[in-house]
Chain A
Amino acid sequence: MSSGGALERTPSGTRDVLPDEMRELRAITDRIRSAFEAGGYGEVYTPALEHEMTFRRAGAAGAQPSYRVFDEHGSVLVLRPDVTVPIARLAATRYAHARPPLRFCYAEHVYRGVRPRRGESREFLQAGVELLGVGGPAGTAEVLRVLCAALDAAGLQDYRIGLGDATLHPTLLEAFGVSERRRDPILAELAAGDFVGADREIHALGLERGDADLLLRVARTRGGPEILEGQPPALHDALAGLRETHALLEPAAAARLIFDLGLVRSLGYYTGAVFEVYDPGHGMPLGGGGRYDDLLARFGRSLPAVGFALDVERVHIALAGEERGRPAASGEDGA
């Protein structure tokens, strides 16, 4: 057997946090939480362990649990892979008759079997909000406002928010008469960020050249509000929603937006607007979210919903990255 065994190591993808880092993480979390509370979002805590059935109920499109244990009755419990599903459960059971809208926030650890690397742990702290009962652009704009307030409170200066809509590509493919079964490979390539593969799949459909090029062009379109104009008529409803969301935001928040028609989030339960947070201080998105208007009905309380989660550890890395970049603004940043 190898020496230096399990006693000296934490499980792969997990780590100890020592006082200096802990102090900073705690301060960031507190500032984010205060911004959530100021927006009218009450903090809840849901258990780290949930019945596996709870996540099954959310469907295959939701975050899939990686860690399972048995309790003394033989029931299968899982370590929560996200907090959105537990809050859907909580809202449908404990607020079954409460009048919407409902506003909840949380700062909890979640557990996923990811490949460990920088800013990606198997146990990580998510801070987020869920707004239940406010549909469409009004709801989306409200959480984007809270998102900006939280990132401002955390101390980030250079962040941007990519905003797209999960229905764009399915709608466009449907308008071109592509059957649902044949849509999936294209959507999978787009979700994987493989434009070369998407190009191959789209051309395999035998669409007219103009239609095929249009699909790829839309997937790559991102920029200011001007990119919402001149798009195919099939996208009218989704783009009108994005335009309205933009119009509802105050200038400071609106200026943070990057419209991104190619934005596809990895979770499949989004039904409308989706968004992600980017910062030049870190090479990966700091978090994201979107509308999931069908999820709560699965728990017996049909309400439109929208929310987001920030990865606090990545926010911390981005803050450090911004600080490192700042004094060197006159010259080149360190390699």
Chain B
Amino acid sequence: MRALRIAVPRGALFGGTLDLLDAIGIDTREVRENDRRLLFEGSGIVTMRPSDVPTYVEAGAADIGITGKDVLMEQPERELYELMDLGYGRCLMVLASVAGPDRAAEALRRLGVVRIATKYPRIASGHLLATGRQAEIVEVKGSVELAPLTGLVDAIVDLTATGTTLRENGLEVREEIAVCTARLIANPVALRLRAREIDELVERIGAV
């Protein structure tokens, strides 16, 4: 049988994930040395965008995977198991608006609706709904910080590690929605058919 196939996120979680895999004895040298290759049959590692990790794991194209809680929150209907909070890659999902008088609150009071730009429409609309506010969600693909500065929206919902980018763009965090860290996820079929290997991996990670 082939080695467990592990979906590894490129991007902010890439380094921490490779360090973790090294620490539990999975050789990642090949991955570190090849920036363009995506599939590493020897170690079972496949690399991809973090938001693609649930897609591969749900379909069983990867047995297990690592991705951020933000990604999982944005794709809540995925049929996967969330096995572990890996602790690293800690970020905050926040609602932020231009510093000074809160335009979002003013829009809500006078216009009845707050306009929110985000890359996380499910999280944003869920949060606004849960707090009893009417919102118009504007999905953007690039720099979200630009949207409130140009008057496109009243506020943004975005992920921030240190808050530096927000501050540099004159934005202020108004609400903290969730703490997001890296998570270990598993395909439901692999969780049963490859129980021993997955449990062993979980145990080794727990011991790091």
| Residues on A facing B (Cβ under 8 Å) | 115, 117-118, 160, 162, 193-197, 199, 220, 222-223, 258, 260, 276, 278-280, 282-285, 332-333, 335
User: Quick check: A195 and B83 within 8 Å, CB to CB?
Assistant: yes
Confirm or deny: B81 has a beta carbon within 8 angstroms of a beta carbon on chain A.
Answer: yes
User: Quick check: B189 and A195 within 8 Å, CB to CB?
Assistant: no
Q: Is the interface of A mostly helix, strand, loop or mixed?
A: strand
CB within 8 Å of A: which of B20-39?
39
Q: Which 9 A-B pairs have the closest CB atoms?
A: A283-B60, A193-B81, A194-B82, A278-B189, A283-B59, A196-B85, A162-B192, A196-B82, A278-B192
Interface size on B, residues (CB 8 A): 27
CB within 8 Å of A: which of B30-52?
39, 41, 46
**In whole Å, how far is B70's beta carbon from the nearest beta carbon of chain A?**
14
User: Quick check: A332 and B2 within 8 Å, CB to CB?
Assistant: yes
The one of B2, B60, B192 in contact with A258, judged by C-beta atoms closer than 8 angstroms, is B192
The one of A115, A195, A260, A335 in contact with B192, judged by C-beta atoms closer than 8 angstroms, is A260
User: Quick check: A193 and B80 within 8 Å, CB to CB?
Assistant: yes
**In whole Å, how far is A75's beta carbon from the nearest beta carbon of chain B?**
32
Complexed CA–CA distance, A280 and B192 (Å): 10
- In the assembled complex, 27 residue pairs joining A and B whose CB atoms fall closer than 8 Å, in A order, are A115-B77, A117-B59, A118-B59, A160-B193, A193-B81, A193-B82, A194-B81, A195-B81, A196-B84, A196-B85, A196-B183, A197-B82, A220-B199, A222-B192, A223-B195, A223-B196, A258-B193, A258-B195, A260-B192, A276-B192, A279-B189, A283-B188, A284-B79, A284-B189, A285-B189, A332-B2, A335-B46
Q: Please name all residues of chain B whose beta carbon is closer than 8 Å to the beta carbon of A193 when the two chains form the complex.
A: 79-82, 188
Q: Is the interface of B mostly helix, strand, loop or mixed?
A: mixed
Complexed CA–CA distance, A332 and B43 (Å): 13
Q: Please name all residues of chain B whose beta carbon is closer than 8 Å to the beta carbon of A117 when the two chains form the complex.
A: 59
Complexed CA–CA distance, A115 and B85 (Å): 27
User: Quick check: A283 and B82 within 8 Å, CB to CB?
Assistant: no
Complexed CA–CA distance, A152 and B41 (Å): 32
Are A332 and B41 also in contact (CB < 8 A) when A162-B192, A193-B188, A283-B58 are?
A: yes
Confirm or deny: B187 has a beta carbon within 8 angstroms of a beta carbon on chain A.
Answer: yes
Q: Please name all residues of chain B whose beta carbon is closer than 8 Å to the beta carbon of A196 when the two chains form the complex.
A: 82-85, 183
